[in-house]
Chains A and B, each alone.
Chain A
Amino acid sequence: MLSVEQLTVRFGDQVALDDVALSVDDGEIVCVLGPSGSGKSTLLRAIAGLEPLAAGRVLRDGADLAGIPPQRRGLGLMFQEHTLFPHRDVVGNVAFGPRMHGAGRAAADEQARAMLALVGLADYEHRGVAELSGGEQQRVALARALAPAPAVLMLDEPLGALDRGLRERLVDDLGALFRELGQSVLFVTHDHDEAFGLADRVAILRAGRVEQVGPPAELWRRPETEFVAAFLGWNVVMGSGTGLGRVAIRPDALLLDGDGALAGVVRTRTFRRDHWRLRVALEAAGETVDVVVRDPEPPAPGDRVRLAVDPAGVVRLP
């Protein structure tokens, strides 16, 4: 089990991480989700021992890791991109960790081959890393990070550089792989699909502070702050006409309905892969909301619409 308490990191006057608390149980997959610049990478680097702490502690199985250098923390870190050793072939990269942990060259190569088979690159042993595609490079990096059997594997935007289709496939593959290995994982990303598709628990990071932590379904059901709601794509509405106070409304909880309580005018209409997204200016409140519509012929910009609200998709904000 890995945990951090009151973790604070400063770069000069700037506070990169502020009083962060987080834990990863054995076998658990935890994701830190946040926009770029929120301190995600810094969090991983601080836990790894690559960034000095201004305050707070990093604990592994209850033992404080202060003063223990990165190479002896028993943690793995997979960087965002381009950190395969250019002077070694695929198997040489993956065998590096086992060799550093005292395995002989033959034994290390054996372990490396097993890891490569695990990530589906069994025949790639002697390829140069420059010959690999982006997806293959990420898999080699994954095999390399897994090879020394780290207590917790940390991944920094593991799929960030890949195209969408590949990313969706790999999210499923990674989840299956980690659960099969019982691997404890802490990964950071800015991508909702990655976070919610892979993690047992998600922590939302904003400007160096954790806003909310919980299982994906709970976060998605009950965002606790305006930031989390907005970040997850909810409509944050002052609700002056509804008497509810400030609320967050899930875009798919607003339904086109001729008898709906809310009246408005469609401003823009955007087609997304399997739905339309309308921006509707509400008449009463003077606010704009996003509405998800699956109707093949949705209203056009300028059309007047009425909206009904599904109460299950409404959360009151503090």
Chain B
Amino acid sequence: MSRWARGSMLAVPLLFLGVFFVYPVLTILGRGLWPGGDLDLSPLREVVGDPSMRDIAWFTVWQAALSTLLTLAIGIPAAYALTQFRFRGAALVRALVVVPFVLPTLVVGSAFLAVGVEPSLGAILVAHVFFNYAVVVRTVGGIWAHLDRRQEDAARLLGASRLRTFASVTLPALRPAIAAAGAIVFLFTFASFGVVLVLGGPTRSTLETEIYRQTAQLLDLRTAAALSIIQLVAVLGLLMVTERLQGRRHVALRLQASRDTVRAPRSPGERVFLWANLAIAALLLGGPIAVLVARAFETPHGVGLEHFRALGTLHATSVLFVPPEQAIWNSLSYAAAAAALALAVGGLAAFAIVRTRRAGAIDAALTLPLGVSAVTIGFGFLIALDDPPLDLRTEWILVPIAQALVAIPFVVRLTTPVLRSIDPRLREAAAMLGAPPRRVWREVDLPIAARALAIAGGFAFAIALGEFGATVFLARPDRPTLPVVIYRLLGQPGPSNFGAAMAASTILLVLAGLSVLAVDRARVADVGTF
């Protein structure tokens, strides 16, 4: 690979990140800190000195830490159960656990309320586990399923107890995956918006919801900017720590095809362990979804499609009304465009990452948007991208771009391990057969990574489908996506609006579920996961 080609592979993602992330975020911060052109740090001082803001920051940190620990505690045993044991329907279960992850937080928050859960810290924590369970199961399980079991066997034969083997052989191999999963969960829960908004009640807010309140309700950009800076610094610090923790996992692991490691549960203990984990998953993930779907079909006259029909008639006279098929079409077309963008940018970044020593830094840079307020990004787009040559404010492409920002880290995480696993001798063999570097890339790297890219594209699609925080700022009022429609319906009083919202959520759920299932069809022997 020539230096030029390598450079351009890196340039595209960095340019994208620069224009559509750094620039809008800096603009928003600038509005707050440079009002009228002079640097004014007083909002930052005010925020830091304000005890209520300090409480919010502290709550943000410890609820995220607690959510992360809880998710890891429930997710790691599940990762073992779901990836090491063979059982009927395993593939379906592994696909279904991802569905909550791509649901809009708002929808699930509402579903929790619908079951009668009172806004509370407990509700927030359970909802966070609900969403991020899949991150831990798939990231840790993805590595666990491919660990070479002979290393554990060797340790046992050398006299190590089962526990000792786990602690000294298995755990060190899993540590990077656990660190990666923990970091993502922390980022998500640190910047959690929908869940805290709905389940936090009036008294609990995080930096993210406070930024939203200051921006959208109080129109106090200065305080919002100061809060955004604090959030950004915290996220940057966290990313730097996890980059250290993750180290060079790709060198250390010898991964096996998972069919060589999966086995049926042998002892009664193992069977109980497996079924306990399946029961927790069913209760934790299936419960809220079941309630949500039940509310969608529950009408005053028994079970029926009334709420689904209402989507086409309710508020039909309002200027903001769009027929449900139009909203579905908007969601699908935005998500498709976002997936294509995320695939192009994230794919190039992955190709660049496996060829550079600065891999951790690039990966961290591309993960940054996950931890930054979607509100800041959405609002930043509106303010920053309204001048020529980047006058995109009224362009439809703005929505998929914002959604792609959220999906790119996942594309990178899904494709990088697969690209890393390509034996460099394959490239040398191609060169010895007469292929110049660019041809090697096209004939060897690209086809081998194709399936991982397809899987990443499916995930990007599902994530874009459920994206809410930025989309709600950017979608034109006459072109709302399903999550925006749901949000509007939830904002209206009365059981018929709520029922219609649940009906729309059910449609979204089915769409997200189908795209995840389609993705899992393609997932056979790869080792990549997010």
Contact = CB atoms under 8 A, between A and B. Distances in A.
A148 B429 CA distance: 13
A100 B433 contact: yes
Contact of B423 (A72, A82, A100, A148): A82
Contact of A79 (B425, B436, B450): B425
A279 B430 CA distance: 49
B421 to A, nearest CB: 11
24 contacts: A48-B428, A69-B431, A71-B432, A71-B433, A71-B435, A71-B436, A75-B432, A77-B429, A79-B428, A82-B423, A82-B425, A83-B425, A85-B429, A85-B444, A87-B450, A88-B447, A96-B430, A96-B443, A97-B434, A100-B434, A144-B433, A145-B432, A145-B433, A148-B434
- Which of A71, A75, A79 counts the most B-chain CB atoms under 10 A from its CB? A71
A86 interface: yes
Interface string A68-93: 01111001110100110111100000
Interface string B408-437: 000000000000000101101111111110
The 5 closest A-B pairs by CB, nearest first: A100-B434, A97-B433, A77-B432, A83-B429, A70-B431
B448 interface: yes
Interface in A232-282: none
B439 interface: yes
Contact of B434 (A79, A85, A87, A101): A101
A162 interface: no
Interface string A176-192: 00000000000000000
Contact of A100 (B435, B447, B448): B435
B448 A87 contact: yes
Given A69-B436, A96-B443, A100-B439, A83 B423 contact: yes
A66 interface: no
Interface string A125-143: 0000000000000000000
Range, interface on chain B: 10 to 19
Interface of A: 48, 50, 69-72, 75-77, 79, 82-83, 85-88, 96-97, 100-101, 144-145, 147-148
B204 to A, nearest CB: 52
A42 to B, nearest CB: 13
A71 B433 CA distance: 6
Nearest to B439: A100
A69 B437 CA distance: 10
- Which of A48, A79, A83 counts the most B-chain CB atoms under 10 A from its CB? A83
A72 B436 CA distance: 8
A46 to B, nearest CB: 13
Nearest to A76: B432
